[in-house]
Structure 1
Amino acid sequence: MVNSTQVSYFTLTAYFDTGRLKHLYFLVVLTLYILIISSNVLLIVVISVNRSLHEPMYMFLCSLFVNELYGSSGLFPFLLIQILSDVHTVSAPLCFLQVFCLHSYGGVEFFTLAIMSYDRYLAICYPLHYNIRMTSNKIAVLTAVLWVYPFLSNVFLVFVLTVPLQLCGNLINKVYCDNYYIVKLACSDTTVNNICGLVKMFTVILGLIVLIIYTYIRILKVCFSGSKQTRQKVFSTCTPHLASLLNFSFGAFFEIVQSRFNLSRLPNMLRIFLSLYWLTCQPLVNPVLYGLKMSKIRNACKDLLFGRKIYL
């Protein structure tokens, strides 16, 4: 029986020998990372300097883009090093740190999308009372919750529950460190881990899902009972958010399926893609969705890129 503190490194077994193609894969991943960083930074700057975008919806969007940078930086530099490496190992402290980063990224992402759906619900269903209900203090509290809770809960999940586990191996069948796979290596009792996971699923995650479904049911009622102009306004403001929400949900679903079920019959590249989808497509797609679909952001981007003054 090996204690987790005695495991000095983990080996990532999902990598395979790509030969000369590893440099091509490196360039592809590097290009994706540069696109993610540049597009998200651009939209953060646009929202920050443009006073007309200092509204609740855009403040939550800015938080979303910051989270994309955080999650991408917890994955892509690691992937780039592993692609060029011949020995796919990672030290135990770095592995646990990556688990914390990626899980907290997912938590902040889901919380932000849920709060954004609540914000759209208030704006569409109670337009005359929106500014009274969505005050600056409320925005500050919601922003603090969507960042603080995922971080604190994952400190408990990773450093209190997972790190002390007694491990009987150090092989992780993924291209990055994952809490579920580390817990599977445990030869000690994981009942507390399983109970905490179920409690989190049926309280926080299910609660956020119920909130999102409720808000969109109310939004759809307003949409179908309103005028054509109302429907167009609802679609223009909700379509990017709904597309982002569905993209993240599909990615999380792919991750759960490929982790919990035996998909050894699938090609290795497809399994790697499914495990990376929720971490790569979301930060890459979100700037495109909001940058192109929301006219105020699109126009502000044009003004910034072409050197026109946009903050007055």
Structure 2
Amino acid sequence: MENGTMPSYFYFTLFKDFFHLRYFLVIVTLSVYFSIVLFNVIIFYVVFKERSLHEPMYILISCLSVNDLFGSTGFFPRLIIDILSNTNVISRSACFVQIYIIYTYAISEYTILTLMAYDRYVAICHPLKYHRLMNSKATTLYIVIASLYGMISMGLAIFFLARLPLCGTDIARLYCSNWSVVRLSCRVSTSTINILGFFVTTTTVFLPALFILYTYVRILIICQKSSKEFRGKALQTCLPHIVCFVNYSVASFCDIALSRYDSDKYKIAAIFFSVEFLVLPAVFNPLIYGLNLPEIRKHILCLFRRSKIAHFPYK
């Protein structure tokens, strides 16, 4: 492939080293995926069912759960297939579909966290304007715009990526990623993809991160001037978001930084960090919000009590 081709298949090279552990890895992977689905479905169901939770903050939390389910479904089923496979081959079209799903999830995760920060900022710093700025129509519009931006930007990235002539087919990751395919390109200019990638990263990672930091600086200033009771309530609603934001930011940064290096030199670290940003937020986000926000926790407990009564009506 010296002159470059459009290969029909790609080969994952990391799985061969763990073939003897494949059944153990399948059990672990299925357990993690089942937990992610269960936790996030519970959060979404509770917010959807309870009318008292039909407020911007809880709607955005449910959107976060839906997005975590979306990203996990783009990763885990294919991962289980590859663990059990003897060849670890993925078709070109399936590879690009996986890239689209995983990176759309990554973009949407940050935009939703940004909207949640804006919601808390308006509620705490501009409470009199809250119902005008964060009503149901405005919240729906923000969510639609954020979703469309991620879908369109990744659609453009896939369009240019699919046109690259490639001089290799081996991908040293557990899934298809944008950079792993770009590294296989022949000695041709990738400036268009690099510019697009820089623009998308800036608008979906760096700018939102700066905005989130700004909102919390403003919230901190307001809390310092307020009563102890007000600070307690503000901390109660903001702390879960801060934990989720820091968790996802660290995981994403580690994956982006490590993906630029040769995975053979840092194989175990590469495997861990390549899945961290897909697994940890999807597991911990529903736990953090389900356990820390009293309204959601109360309705989840009620849901389990009703379920127990339905199964054991005579106890």
Q: Normalising by structure 1, report the TM-score.
A: 0.94
In the alignment, does 2:126 pair up with 1:126? yes
The yes-or-no answer on 1:169 pairing with 2:171 is: no
Q: CA RMSD in A?
A: 1.4
**Whole-Å separation in 2 of the counterparts to 1:194 and 1:19:** 35
How many angstroms apart in 2 are the aligned matches of 1:151 and 1:285?
Answer: 25
| CA distances 1:118-163 after superposition (whole Å, capped 9, x unpaired) | 00000111122211221222111101012111011101111x2100
CA contact under 8 A between 2:107 and 2:150: conserved in structure 1?
yes
Question: Residue 87 of structure 1: SS of its match in structure 2?
Answer: coil
Q: Is the 8 A contact 1:167 1:186 kept in 2?
A: yes
- The equivalences for 1:232-271 within 5 A come to 232-262=232-262, 264-266=264-266, 268-271=267-270
**Partners of 1:233 and 1:281 in 2: CA distance:** 26
Output the amino acid matched with 1:297: I
Aligned to 1:152: 152
| Partner Cα distance (1:27, 1:169) in 2 | 32
Aligned mates of 2:202, 2:244 — CA distance in 1:
23
1:26-77 deviation line (CA, Å, top 9, x unaligned): 1001000000001101110100110110000011111110001100000000
**2:291 partner letter:** L
Quote the residue 1:290 is aligned against: 289
Which letter does structure 2 place at the counterpart of 1:96?
Answer: F
**More off after superposition, 280-289 vs 189-198:** 189-198
Q: Report what 2:39 is aligned to.
A: 39
Query: After superposition, where does 1:1-312 map in structure 2 within 5 Å?
Result: 1-4=3-6, 7-158=7-158, 160-187=159-186, 188-262=188-262, 264-266=264-266, 268-307=267-306
SS of 1:10 mapped into structure 2:
strand
The code of the aligned residue for 1:3 comes to: T
C-alpha distance in structure 2 between counterparts of 1:84 and 1:116, whole Å: 39
- What CA deviation, in whole Å up to 9, does each residue of 1:60-109 have, x standing for no partner? 11111000110000000011111111211111110000000000000110
TM-score scaled by structure 2? 0.93
Distance 2:202 2:71 in 1: 24
AA of the residue aligned to 2:24: L
Percent identity, please: 35
Contact 2:46-2:296 at 8 Å conserved across structures = yes
Following superposition, the deviation at residue 20 of structure 1 comes to 4.1
On the 8 A contact 1:3/1:164 being kept in 2, the answer is no
Say if 2:254 and 2:273, in contact at 8 Å, map to a contact too. Answer: yes
**Alignment partners' CA distance in 2, 1:105 and 1:279:** 9
1-structure distance, mates of 2:22, 2:202? 42
